[in-house]
Every structure is written in C-alpha cells, then in structure tokens.
Amino acid sequence: MAVDYDLVVIGNTATGIYAALSAAKLKARVAIVEQNIRSDSTIVRHAFAEIGDIAQSLDRVNQLGLYHSEIVSGVLQLAEAKKWADTINSTLQQLDSPAVLASLGIEFIASSGEFCREPHSGFLVDQRVLRSRTFLIATEQIPVIPNIEGLQTTGYLTSETIGQTIPSKLVIIGDDAIGIETAQTFNRLGSQVTLIMSTGFLETADREAAFLIQAQLESEGIRVLTYTLVTQVRKIQSKKWVQAGDKAIETDEIFLAAGFQPNLESLNLEAMGISFPVRVNTKLQSAHDRIYICGNSVHSIAQQEVNIALKNALFFPVFKIDDRKVPRAIFSNPQIAWVGLTESQANQVYGKDVVIVRQFFKTLVKAQIQTKTTGFIKVITRRNGEILGTHIVGEDASELISPIVLAINQKLKVQVFNDLGFLSPTFSEILTRVAIEWESQKLNHNSGLQDFLEGFFRWRRANFK
C-alpha cells in the first residue's frame, strides 16, 4: 500500500529539525509535526552559566586590584540572562522557521496529534492521517520527578522553572549532570548550595577526572553529599527542609536534577503496541520497528542518534549506536568531557597492553595567559597506538574531545596528532603533546631501539666532516 511520506518527524525541537533537514537533503519526502513544543531550557541554562562565569571573572579582577565595581543584583543578572537567551532562541527559530523548512521541501504541520490504527495506521493530526514508511519521535525532554515524600506539597524547581530569583540557600537533588552545572552557576551568583547525589560523583566518568571536578566544586564552597538518599522534604514556616540520610538541611529552594525523559504521554503509543516505560534498541527502534525515538540525552549525542536513526529509517535498519564512540560532556568550569573506556575498564579488557598518557593544562601557554591552568587530558591507548578512551578536564574540553572522537571513529592512532599542526598558543596544542609523550613512552620501553639510536648518533658524531 502506498504511503505519503518517507519520514514523519514528531516534535519541532532542535533534534527534530536537524532530522527533517538531514532527511530532506537525501531527497526523502518529509513532514514535521510541531507537537506543542515549549521553549528550550538548554539555552537559558547556558546563559545563566555564562553570567556566573562573568561574575567570577569580575571577582578575580577585583582581587587583583585592576578594577572595582559592585556587581549588579543577582535578580537583574538573571533577568538579563533570560532576555539574552530569549533573543538567541528567537534568532534560531527564524533560521529554521516553517517558511525556511517549506522552501527546502519539508512540510511543516503547526499542530499536534497522536498515533492511530483506524481507518489507517499512521499519525492523526487535525482529522488527517499522516501515513509514512517510518516515524521519528523527537519531542522535548521533560524532567524526571523523583518519588520523595512531601515533594509535591513543598514545591520544587526544575530546569524549566529555575531562574526567577537567586535563593540564599539552594539544595539540588539528583545525579544528573545538570545538577553539577546548576550548583556551580548559582554558587557563583551568591547562593549557598548543597548538592545531594544518591550515587557516587559522576560514576560513569573516569575516577581521576570526576574527583577533580568534585574537588573544584568543593573548593568553591559547594557542599557535595554522595551516596545519600533523600527520604522526605517538608515546609516549616517559610523554609523548606530536606531529610538527606541522617542530615536535615534547611533551604529556600529545592532544584531537581534526576534526569530527563522524552515527552511521550500524549502520543497514544499504545495504539502502535508500544507500552510504558518506552525503550529503544541500539538501532533506536521502539517496540514498533517503524517508529524511532531520538533525543534521550540533553547533552551531546542527539545529532549522533539522529544520524543512526535516519540511516535505519530511510534505508536499511542495520546501523547501531556504539556508546564507546559517543562523547559526553558536562559544562562545568572547568569542563569535563570523555569518550570510550575509562582506565579501569581498559585494564580489565586489555591488561598489560594498556598505555596511559597524561598531559596537564598548566604546561600550555594559553592556559597560563588566561589563568585557566586547572585540568588534564588522559588518553588511554593500546601499545600499537589504538585509542581506547580519552578523558579531559579543562577549558574547552567539550571542543577538544571532538578530534579524539573522529580519530576513534576513523580508527586513527594517537600518533596522528603529532602531524596535525595545531596552532600556538591554543588549548588544542595539548593533543600534540599527548602524541609526543606517547612516542616518548614507546621509546622508553624499547631498549633495543634506544641502543640502536645511541649507536647511530655516536657513529655520526665520529664520522662528521
């Protein structure tokens, strides 16, 4: 039976628009359904973080005696940050407006709908059934609300609602990376922050890198409680109280950082045989093999998910997402980014074949000039130079991880960074230093080569004319 589209994208998010544009460039017939998307809180969050960084920089300038100014009140700072973020959102929306999408051959449907079986299987929008070979769900991400006694009556903030004021005291509950970013931002804007995590600090990251980020937060005055369960929250007079383990913590506001999930409740997925909780396989297929779901991460991997999902949806479903090749980043200060195996994972799999190379940001000219010397890069390789994983803590870590991801995906060895010719002074020079250090370690473990080189240069000196 003929269908109208090759792909219907559900959700006018950044992920959804990227998917629609990518499919249209491949000459597929595409429609995108708006699906009641609210404003993107990601840009607002990063705008607040930028204001926090500026506030810290001004404090440092004042400490050096170069400039003195009373920083404007925190409320005004947040108001300006929100206005700035709204302007950015508006600009991005104009770049991907319905008119622009239509000019590229994409049908934009400014409405919402749900899946249906009758009279035909498809996506029902305004009494019209969109029939397609495949569907890609790219709806917005909504915060996960943990089941904590008293939470609903006491009240809380999420990434969608935080930012109206700067609380004197802020308790952040949850293990999601956004909690770390929010803790640092509001601490720098003047809040007394407590971060409560039920697990260890950044358990999926390399331990050495995670400990440095935790130490940075604590050095700035943030209280970090790990392996601590929140069992109850209560409101007593004007204050909120959080029962965390055996501690009762007083606070003005509670921020939830328990993770995110796609907003799927209104899509009637049950009609397509998909039950909750909704899961996808490594091909990003749901329980219905023609329905794909992307955007399960609010950080770094949405576009990679789309690339895999599109190849499967438009062509043949044989491509799989490989977590070992997916970069992760947390936009703290300094940033942390990683890809591939941790040191302990590599040792378990490859044993004595593992070579660890470290370089520190304090050795870089640019880091010294900008006084951003905190951090390091750890590259985990095999003895033949194959890159197994990389972990970076430092300025622009989220940018520096990209060449590593490319090298891993293209099966390039660590030696390649010695040939790329990074400009100086830049932070990317650290990749060249990694390659040089790897070569040095290789030479130090090869006594035969050392003896040969020593003899070679002795002979050249003796026969110099």
Residue positions forming the annotated binding site for NAD(+): 174-181, 259
3-state secondary structure at position 96: coil
Q: What is the pLDDT of residue 1?
A: 62
- Determine the residue type at 231: T
Domains and CATH numbers, the chain: 5-40+79-143+261-324 (3.50.50.60), 151-258 (3.50.50.60), 334-448 (3.30.390.30)
Which residue, 138, 107, 139, 136, is CA-closest to 290?
136
Residue positions forming the annotated binding site for FAD: 113
User: Bridge partners of 340?
Assistant: 389
- 78 confidence band (pLDDT: 50, 70, 90): low
Tens of pLDDT, residue by residue over 435-454, are 999 998 888 887 787 778 88
Counting DSSP H helices and E strands in the chain, the numbers are: 13, 22
Tens of pLDDT, residue by residue over 180-225, are 999 998 998 889 999 999 999 999 899 999 999 999 999 999 999 9
Which residue, 330, 406, 441, 343, is CA-closest to 375?
330
Cα angle 19, 340, 371 (rounded to 5 degrees) comes to: 95
Cα-only R_g, the chain: 26
The contacts of residue 408 (CB under 8 Å, 6+ apart) are 324, 325, 339, 340, 387
Mean pLDDT of all residues belonging to the chain? 87
Cα angle 69, 75, 80 (rounded to 5 degrees) comes to: 80
Q: What is the pLDDT of residue 48?
A: 64
- The separation between CA 29 and the C-alpha centre of its own chain, rounded to angstroms, equals 31
Cα angle 94, 100, 104 (rounded to 5 degrees) comes to: 155
Q: What is the dihedral of CA 13, 14, 19, 25, to 10 degrees?
A: 130
Which residue, 6, 5, 265, 13, is CA-closest to 114?
265
User: Bridge partners of 172?
Assistant: 195, 255
Which residue, 244, 240, 219, 82, is CA-closest to 163?
82
- 157 confidence band (pLDDT: 50, 70, 90): very high
Tens of pLDDT, residue by residue over 138-153, are 988 888 999 999 999 9
Tens of pLDDT, residue by residue over 23-72, are 999 999 999 999 876 555 666 666 666 666 666 666 555 555 555 455 44
The contacts of residue 218 (CB under 8 Å, 6+ apart) are 224
The contacts of residue 310 (CB under 8 Å, 6+ apart) are 7, 19, 22, 23, 26, 136
List the single range of 91-105, 182-196, 268-282, 321-335 with lowest mean pLDDT.
91-105
Predicted confidence (pLDDT) at residue 76 exceeds the cutoff of 60: no
Overall average pLDDT of the 142-168 stretch: 88
Q: What is the pLDDT of residue 446?
A: 79
- Determine the residue type at 343: E
Q: What is the pLDDT of residue 297?
A: 47
Which residue, 360, 338, 354, 357, is CA-closest to 404?
338
Beta-strand relationship, 239-244 and 230-236? antiparallel
pTM of the model: 0.86
User: Bridge partners of 108?
Assistant: 32
- 298 confidence band (pLDDT: 50, 70, 90): very low
Structure letter (DSSP) for residue 275: P
Residue positions forming the annotated binding site: 113, 174-181, 259
Overall average pLDDT of the 321-349 stretch: 92
Q: What is the pLDDT of residue 55?
A: 62
